[in-house]
Structure 1
Amino acid sequence: MPDFDYDLFVIGAGSGGTRAARVAAAHGAKVAVAEEYRVGGTCVIRGCVPKKLLVYGAHFAEDLKDARRFGWMVPEDLQFDWQCLRENVMAEVDRINQAYTNTLKTNGAEIIEQRTTVSGPNEVTLADGTKKTAKTILVAVGAHPQIPHCEGHEHGITSNEAFNLDGIPKRILIAGAGYIANEFAGIFHQFGAHVILMNRTKDILRGYDLAIRDRLLQISMMKGLEFRFDATFEKIVKLDDGCLEVHMSGHDPAVVDLVMFATGRIPNTKGLGLESAGVEMTERGAIKVDDDNRSTCPSIYAVGDVTDRIQLTPIAIREGQAFADNLFGKGGGKVDYACIPSAVFSHPPLAGVGLTESQARQKFGSVRVYSSDFRPMKNVLAGRDERALYKMVCDGETDRVLGIHMIGPDVPEIIQAAAVAVKAGLTKTQFDATVALHPTMAEELVLLK
């Protein structure tokens, strides 16, 4: 048997790579993890975690206004300190980054703080030229924001830079209509910016239930967000006063202070040297893998966003766990990609699990849809017209719940428990037989008509 420097060499210390390295090391493998930036990856450093903290901060804008109806003497001239929030969020990112680092070290994994590329089936090359060998190489380098190719695109930013702005722009144009675009649209709007959402089609949040995303669109427009549909970039011009003039198809130019691209994410495989080991990739640069996360090179595996299967942190973590258990543990690790719950932390948030109404009708033909369209109790007393909408999609023949889709306060928290029921194949009758917990938002799930 060849003598390798490591049993496992992981390139990328994001959610998937960190989990795989930690578990493999705990199983007794000699593990090294290479990370060119910071341990934690997109989710911890420039994604889910700091974004959710900004969402919390943005919610106070409406909560403080509503508080007056609940008897709190909130002054009219409230001031928001962006620098304070930004620094506190970055401090929390630093804390979690250190926690991830300590976890790897505690479990015996070596951390190499250098960019690393693949230079053979069992060899990697560090940025300083050092070469290391490993019996198995795991690529977990994630993805990066896609930037449209248009004149002046260098004047825009992505979600990566949004967390470190010097201040909140008065006017911002966000390109895209997925979860990143809608989440940051809500954040910037609540912080006082005028937000324009620009999208190349008429649809927002494709993949979510139509009625739910239509409700978000209605509420967003009611709040003052501006939408430019069927629009593509022509050019972005920086004016003498520093403002940006965005020219787009089908619409008049928009003059804003900031342009943010939220138009998808591309796997980070460029320049990684994977071709040297015979690793095949898709047209988008994603690593092709089988059900066990193995690439076309038998000694090289990949997990997480770099495979472009489902770009979600919990999926990367599960893939990393399964990989490590299968290669260094007792085996049997498989990731089930069915019934994955997801949420958009917009204002208000939406969430879903299972089949949408359209998907269910295409697959099963006969379906029954139950819904509740209501004003949350808090909104009623606050004098806010914003309504929540819950939908349950069931098989018309068996009564089995095929999907649950929601928009309203706290629905991401509710959908996690509801996802267990959908995954377990429970029926509408079983939901109906469950006593409601009153008064709550979640009780609507067992009262749907």
Structure 2
Amino acid sequence: MDPPDTLSPGLYDYDLLVIGGGSGGLAVAKEAAGFMKKVLFLDLLAPSPRGAERGSCSDIDSIRKFLQQASLLRQAIQDSQKYGWRFKQEVLHDWSELVQAVQGQVRSASLELKRELRSCGVSHLNAHGRIVAPRTVEVTDVDGRKRRLTAETLVVATGTTPQCLCIPGETEYCITSKDLLSLPRPPGRTLVVGGSAEGLECAGFLSGLGLPVTVALTPDLLPGFDQKTARKIENHMIVAGVDFLYRCSLSKVEQTKDATSAGDSAAAPQQGREGTLRVTVISKEGQTLQKDFDTVLVAVGRKACTSDIGLESVGVQRCRDSGRILVNERDQTSVDHIYAIGSVQHGRRSATGLSVHAGKLLARRLYGGGSVLCDYTCVPTVVLTPLEYAACGLSEEKAKLTFGEANVEAYHSHYWPLEWILPARNKNSCYVKVVCHIPDHERVVGLHIMGPNAGDILQGFAAAMKCGLTKQQLDATVGIHPGSAQVLTSLTQTQRMSEALMVRGNC
């Protein structure tokens, strides 16, 4: 017999039950335990179909940073010769050593997380949770054993998973970003399908290791980000040797029998296959093109992992297309005792730091008497391409749509990091843009940085934006010299001025 909808507080198995291993779920669980609540955290740490070990969201972010650093070190080795360094032997990269090191760190972080949960008083089960009735969750462990547990409050933090193209050969031959480190050998000639942040990060990492990479923009380049800055990221990647396919779609992926058509045996196809992968691409005009690759990595976006956790059984409303959950300003779903945190939320930016912050605030509202809501409007984020892109607030396009073009001024400038001068690296690669709302004393509503350590540079400016930073205040800030961030304190060129120069042919 199922438990009734509402019981006395002491009759539930748990005060709070978190379904899923998202970073926001971890945060709300640990914070709630700090208020002496009985908390259960459910997360099935199953490997991906390709065998890649799965970690928490913070682990995934760490992996992104490790891979970016691996690609940056190759450039640093090249730059070092201009600073007087000489090497006695050829410098080579070992893929297997990188994979082992990163996977070892993920395993260590997973053990540390379990210890942390125990020390916080959070119960943790490596199990799948499915809501079967109000305040009732069916828990299935790795051996298939089932039991039902009750909780006064439920939080869904199941995160997202890569979307599929749904084309012939995808399941058999393609991989996603989470499978990249399951490859026993370098991926060789790689096709990255998708211009998402995830796709460009993977493409930049592989290109940074010296591998040939092609990006098929399916459908757009960095959707949701400032498009003029996104095009500069694209240009930088092209200069670095990445090829791009435009206005096209994949129709199928098939295996060929010729093992040497796309490279030597060292770059042979993965997962134990013989031969290379032949990709059929259809252009916007309907022309068919075939290209051979060693690896095809799909990164066309992500969908919420909400299809098999029983939301429909209790009436939790989801977006039909993405599966993301509809929530109010309190992170509450259409069912009053069920909340959603992190990337499963519909219509909100996904970022680990944001999810952690929102999770802590939710626990404080539920159990600590707090009333502070999470501000989802000014969220800093970073794309870990070899040349980083960090952004906070609105893109120039979104600002003009929100306030009207006449009410928006965008100040911008290229800059040349001092450490790039001796190696004579591209002088016009790095870029900043400050988007201002003119009627509101030129309040800064968007800030975009493209350059080394862009995320670290942005962090302090993001705090200033939360406090209502204006262009006048930015101009009055003393810049640190020498340093890249000082460019933000001396911006005079506007987007309008640059466009006028281009019209006159002076730029």
Which of the five TM-score ranges fits, normalised by the shorter chain?
over 0.9
In the alignment, structure 1 segments of 5+ residues that lack a partner are none
Query: Which among 114, 122, 129 is matched to residue 109 of structure 1?
Result: 122
Query: Which among 236, 242, 245 is matched to residue 278 of structure 2?
Result: 245
Query: Which among 308, 311, 322 is matched to residue 361 of structure 2?
Result: 322
* 1:26 aligned residue: 34
Question: Matches of 1:286 and 1:118 in 2, distance apart?
Answer: 16
Query: Superposition pairs for residues 286-305 of structure 1, below 5 Å?
Result: 286-305=324-343
Where 2:218 maps in the other structure, the secondary structure is: coil
Question: Matches of 2:61 and 2:110 in 1, distance apart?
Answer: 13
* 1:377 aligned residue: 418
Amino acid at match of 2:312: E
Contact 1:321–1:333, Cα closer than 8 Å, also in 2: no
Contact 2:23–2:355, Cα closer than 8 Å, also in 1: yes
Query: Which among 190, 209, 232 is matched to residue 215 of structure 1?
Result: 232
Amino acid at match of 2:419: K
Contact 2:45–2:54, Cα closer than 8 Å, also in 1: no
Question: Matches of 1:409 and 1:266 in 2, distance apart?
Answer: 30
Where 2:469 maps in the other structure, the secondary structure is: coil
* 2:498 aligned residue: none
Query: TM-score scaled to structure 2, two decimals?
Result: 0.85
Question: Matches of 2:326 and 2:472 in 1, distance apart?
Answer: 42
Question: Given the alignment of the two structures, is residue 257 of structure 1 paired with residue 298 of structure 2, yes or no?
Answer: no
* 1:118 aligned residue: 131
Question: 1:315-352: CA deviations, max 9, x gaps?
Answer: 22122112211111122131101111111111211111
Question: Matches of 2:33 and 2:438 in 1, distance apart?
Answer: 49
Superposition deviation, residue 98 in structure 1: 2.0
Question: Matches of 1:422 and 1:82 in 2, distance apart?
Answer: 41
In the alignment, structure 2 segments of 5+ residues that lack a partner are 1-6, 47-52, 260-274, 493-507
Q: 1:195 to 1:302 in 2, by over 3 A?
A: same
Question: Given the alignment of the two structures, is residue 63 of structure 1 paired with residue 103 of structure 2, yes or no?
Answer: no
* 1:152 aligned residue: 169
Contact 2:30–2:120, Cα closer than 8 Å, also in 1: yes
Query: Which among 149, 153, 156 is matched to residue 139 of structure 1?
Result: 156
Query: Superposition pairs for residues 249-288 of structure 1, below 5 Å?
Result: 249-250=282-283, 252-283=289-320, 284-288=322-326
Contact 2:28–2:362, Cα closer than 8 Å, also in 1: yes
Where 1:382 maps in the other structure, the secondary structure is: coil
Question: 1:18-66: CA deviations, max 9, x gaps?
Answer: 1111111110111111111179954234x21111111111101110000
* 1:7 aligned residue: 15
Question: Matches of 1:395 and 1:333 in 2, distance apart?
Answer: 26
Question: 1:138-197: CA deviations, max 9, x gaps?
Answer: 111111111111011111001111122212122000111011011111100111211010
Question: Matches of 2:419 and 2:112 in 1, distance apart?
Answer: 37
Where 1:253 maps in the other structure, the secondary structure is: strand
Superposition deviation, residue 356 in structure 1: 2.3
Give the number of aligned pairs: 447
Question: Matches of 1:74 and 1:236 in 2, distance apart?
Answer: 42
Contact 1:44–1:93, Cα closer than 8 Å, also in 2: no
Question: Given the alignment of the two structures, is residue 420 of structure 1 paired with residue 463 of structure 2, yes or no?
Answer: yes
Question: Given the alignment of the two structures, is residue 79 of structure 1 paired with residue 112 of structure 2, yes or no?
Answer: no
**Once superposed, what is the RMSD of the aligned Cα atoms?**
1.8
Question: 1:187-225: CA deviations, max 9, x gaps?
Answer: 001112110100234x41122223311211111111110
Question: Given the alignment of the two structures, is residue 403 of structure 1 paired with residue 441 of structure 2, yes or no?
Answer: no
Runs of 4+ aligned structure 1 residues displaced above 4 Å come to: 38-42
Amino acid at match of 2:454: V
Superposition deviation, residue 75 in structure 1: 5.1
Q: 1:290 to 1:368 in 2, by over 3 A?
A: closer
Question: Matches of 1:396 and 1:280 in 2, distance apart?
Answer: 39
* 2:250 aligned residue: 233
Contact 2:135–2:150, Cα closer than 8 Å, also in 1: yes
The sequence identity of aligned pairs, in percent, is 30
Query: Superposition pairs for residues 181-196 of structure 1, below 5 Å?
Result: 181-196=199-214
Question: Matches of 1:229 and 1:321 in 2, distance apart?
Answer: 42
Question: 1:229-260: CA deviations, max 9, x gaps?
Answer: 11111110111132111111116212000001
Amino acid at match of 1:187: F
Contact 1:32–1:109, Cα closer than 8 Å, also in 2: yes
Question: Matches of 1:101 and 1:324 in 2, distance apart?
Answer: 20
